[in-house]
Amino acid sequence: MKLELFSAPDAAASKPPSRSGLLQVVVAVVCFGATVGLLRFVDQFAAVRDWLFWKLGLIWLWQLVFVATGLSLGGLIGDRALRGVPEIPPLERLVLEMAVGVVGFAVILWILGAMRLLVPAVAVALPALSIAASFGRRRSRTPRPLATLLGTPWQLSILDLVVGGYGVICLGLLYLNLLDPESLNHDAHWTHLPIAQDFAREGRIVPSRAEWARNFPHLASVLYTWVFLVPGLDHPMRLLMVMHTELVLLIWTLVAVVAAARWLTHASELEGRTTWVVFFLFSAIFVYDSNLGGAADHVAAFFVLPLFLAFARGTERFSPGLCALAGALAGGALVTKYQSAYVIAPLGGLVVVRCARALLRRLGSDGDPIVRTPAVRSMLIGLAMLTGGFLAAAGPYFIENIVFHRNPVYPFGLSVFTASRPTIGDAGYLVSNVLTPAGLKGGDGLAARLQGALGLLFSFSFVPHYSFVGARPYFGFLFTLLAPLSLLFPRGQRLRMAAAIAAGTISCWAMTYLVDRNLQIFAPLLVAVTAAVIVRIWRMGGLARLALVPLLLAQAVWGGDLMFQGSSSVALERARSGAAGLINVRSTQERRAISRTLPRQAVVLLHEEHVTLGLDREVISDKMGYQGLLDGHLMRTPREAYDRYRAVGVTHLVWDPSDPLDFCQGDVVFDILTKPLSGKVHGGYHVAEMPASPPPVRPPLRVLALGTGIAGLTADGVYPVDAVSACDLRPPETCVPTHPEAPVGPGGAKEALMGDVDAVLLGPTYSLDARAAELLRTRYEPTIHAGTPQLHLRR
């Protein structure tokens, strides 16, 4: 039966009235007039041109362009790579094409960046050319609509509608949350978006000279560079479009869950069409640091299921085209985030097993040499295509690092690539223990790590390790509880293989870097396995279903409060304010204001901070432990700091004088260097030009330390400034206790304060007598650094 929104009660009433043409004109004029009048009326309350609707509409238009570009490039690649491959279900093929198309889009942007062509005109022309190039293909092979592949509404049962409705609500809550400017997380402000900001400003790929974290894989930032280039958006809307891009890739991940679950369960095209909703039973997606936040985790996760399907299918008979796609997706995932290796490593194990199987089948047979047999020849060709696809996708990132840093995996491998640049003393230790804290790396030794991984395989979903919600488990329990059932199902080889690979990914994570956020990278594989188990249970009948439903409801209810933590009655108002640039997140507005005052070619030294989004100039951070360009241990006087800043091209200094004393030596030297400088203030930031004349040459600064408790200082007294940091951010075995040049005993602070001392570090429990307190007040000027110890500079 055809359902119409407005239907005539009978045939007579549905006949058009006389002079219907004139009546239509009258009605049209009235409707258009009413529309204009209504818009003019509401414009006095909220200007129509400023409605959030228009801004979001433009963002979604660009998102449609992004998806069309990915599908176009992916289709062009897929038509060649999948030629001769046995029929792949349409939905699965669409997922593979979108994933490889996004990789292709990023690689082209990388190449254009190397050619200095990252400009707005190219950002528009590249999608236009990609879409135009796919027109011929579309005429020869018209794809079925995505709605048909997932199941159209009139084909859905009541249960499908209920389950799908729950999923739509979850998506809506995610969308409402990402409209809030506060959703853009710390890492996005620190690394992912400043990289894109720099590439777009310079029109090319440029190195990050002083931030190790910005030299990690950044395919996501290359995609975000396109967001920073397209016309028609101001800065707040570009940040919002980044979040929309991440959401679009998440939606494609949900589509991939359906495709993967169908393959794992040998399902028909209409079965399992609501399995995508299982993704939201993994409630970590609603928790800060695992949710959508403008970072790279969900971009890497977007590749995981297409990668799994391409590997599982391609290496079964070593199809050259599928192997090439698998390699390209592996490369794309790895240069999005190194932790994608958690998935790639178990898939590599699958390849090894299948290679061994192909070789063992020929052992002991007579005839041609083993390498000339068709199966082995196909294996070798497949492996070559796998490697070629990987290098084509990942090559630009590694080449970039070789050109800029003489090290393809910079800042790692410093002991292997000894010519790496830039670098400082103890760089290898800092990368391994400060930038990537040692306490999050599991046990010491292979045996301890294996033992720990075995335990975490069963407990990871019950015990969070790096959480913003305390000890409350939030990832989701269903994979842990249901995946073991894959061992019991008949005709479940695919599902058991996927469960084994998923277990391997968890083990790799557990043995390397225990940050729960990184679980999001391979969460789609866990979701697909869980969804497939649910489908198999559902097929078993009434009793199994009756037992399954309470478990699913328990998980949904447990994660329910997490779903709403980012939503509020003022969410849309915050979205409007954020789109208008009225909400200041992590001091972004102040940094944008600073950018407007600086010359185009300014090089900014940002002291003791690495969050730079909005500061749209080349930024060099001196924060120790996070960069390899400026070694604070070597700066003992303002002149030494000045000379080093000049040597790396610094033209302006930016600092927040209230920042804590994270690295005391660096703060003492920097504060004395900047004390006589005049400049501008933007919020909490002070901005000054580098002085034209350097400070005078002088002996190292001397610091009076009183009750500080700083490691390596044996007693209260006067120390050279570099002794204050002798044990700070250095390997523990190199810490040698330092004795003061002039010890200070009980009641001796007065004499020390009258001596030749440049700065005083005063601990919170140290008590000065009245005379010493007066000397501190009159001879020294307090700084406003937060925390302890207090820093006072000589007047």
What number is the average pLDDT over the span 615-634? 95
What dihedral do alpha carbons 429, 430, 434, 438 form, nearest 10°?
-20
* Residue 7 within a domain: no
Residue 141 has pLDDT above 70, yes or no: no
Q: Which residues are bridge partners to 781 per DSSP? A: 793
On whether both 509 and 613 belong to a single domain, the answer is no
What number is the average pLDDT over the span 237-254? 96
Q: Who wins on pLDDT, 583 or 382?
A: 382
- Residues spanned by the domain of 669: 588-689
- The conformation of residue 16, written as its DSSP 8-state character, comes to P
- The conformation of residue 686, written as its DSSP 8-state character, comes to E
* Residue 37 within a domain: no
Percentage of the chain modeled with pLDDT above 90:
71
**Integer Cα distance of 388 and 395 in angstroms:** 10
Beta carbons within 8 Å of 108's beta carbon, 6+ residues apart:
73, 126
On whether both 475 and 513 belong to a single domain, the answer is yes
On whether both 727 and 603 belong to a single domain, the answer is no
Q: Which residues are bridge partners to 685 per DSSP? A: 682
The pLDDT value recorded for residue 208 is 92
The pLDDT value recorded for residue 451 is 85
The pLDDT value recorded for residue 707 is 93
What number is the average pLDDT over the span 129-139? 79
On whether both 138 and 193 belong to a single domain, the answer is yes
On whether both 78 and 126 belong to a single domain, the answer is yes
* Residue 360 within a domain: yes
Question: Model confidence at 6, in pLDDT bands (50, 70, 90)?
Answer: very low
* Residue 579 within a domain: no
What number is the average pLDDT over the span 470-494? 92
* Residue 484 within a domain: yes
- The conformation of residue 630, written as its DSSP 8-state character, comes to -
Residues 332, 338, 341: CA angle, nearest 5 degrees: 80
Give me the phi and psi of 641, to 5 degrees please.
-65, -45
Token readout for 304 is 């995981």
The pLDDT value recorded for residue 551 is 94
Q: Who wins on pLDDT, 56 or 362?
A: 56
What number is the average pLDDT over the span 738-766? 93
- Edge-to-edge strand list for the sheet holding 685-689: 618-621, 603-606, 652-655, 685-689, 680-682
Q: Which residues of 413-437 are buried (b: 16+ CB within 10 A; e: fewer)?
A: ebeebeebebbeebbbbbbbbbbbe
Domain-ending residue, one of 689, 716, 735: 689
The pLDDT value recorded for residue 1 is 39
Q: Which helix (H) or strand (E) holds 706?
A: strand 702-706
Residue 446 has pLDDT above 60, yes or no: yes
The pLDDT value recorded for residue 154 is 56
**Integer Cα distance of 667 and 760 in angstroms:** 12
On whether both 736 and 627 belong to a single domain, the answer is no
Domain-ending residue, one of 661, 689, 717: 689
Question: Model confidence at 146, in pLDDT bands (50, 70, 90)?
Answer: low
Where is average pLDDT lowest: 274-278, 576-580, 595-599, 636-640?
Answer: 576-580
Confirm if 677 and 653 have CB atoms less than 8 A apart: yes
Question: Model confidence at 368, in pLDDT bands (50, 70, 90)?
Answer: low
* Residue 74 within a domain: yes
On whether both 204 and 249 belong to a single domain, the answer is yes
On whether both 234 and 171 belong to a single domain, the answer is yes
The pLDDT value recorded for residue 441 is 74
Q: Which residues are bridge partners to 680 per DSSP? A: 687
SS3 content of the chain, % helix, strand, coil (to 5): 60, 5, 35
**Integer Cα distance of 177 and 789 in angstroms:** 39
The pLDDT value recorded for residue 363 is 60
Confirm if 780 and 792 have CB atoms less than 8 A apart: yes
Residue 370 has pLDDT above 70, yes or no: no
Residue 209 has pLDDT above 70, yes or no: yes
On whether both 355 and 491 belong to a single domain, the answer is yes
Q: Who wins on pLDDT, 472 or 8?
A: 472
Measured CA distances, 246 to 35, 76, 379 (Å): 35, 24, 36
pLDDT in tens, 389-436: 999 999 999 999 999 999 999 999 999 999 999 999 999 999 988 888
On whether both 299 and 204 belong to a single domain, the answer is yes
* Residue 570 within a domain: no
pLDDT in tens, 544-599: 999 999 999 999 998 887 877 654 445 667 777 777 777 888 899 999 999 999 99
**Integer Cα distance of 187 and 612 in angstroms:** 10
On whether both 682 and 723 belong to a single domain, the answer is no
Percentage of the chain modeled with pLDDT above 70:
92
What number is the average pLDDT over the span 249-265? 96
Q: Which residues of 106-133 are buried (b: 16+ CB within 10 A; e: fewer)?
A: bbbbbebbeeebbeeebbbebbeebbee
The pLDDT value recorded for residue 18 is 52
**Integer Cα distance of 403 and 400 in angstroms:** 5
Q: Which residue has the tokens 């097993």?
A: 353
Looking at the 3D structure of the chain, how many domains does it have?
3
The pLDDT value recorded for residue 262 is 95
On whether both 681 and 706 belong to a single domain, the answer is no
What number is the average pLDDT over the span 172-197? 92
* Residue 229 within a domain: yes
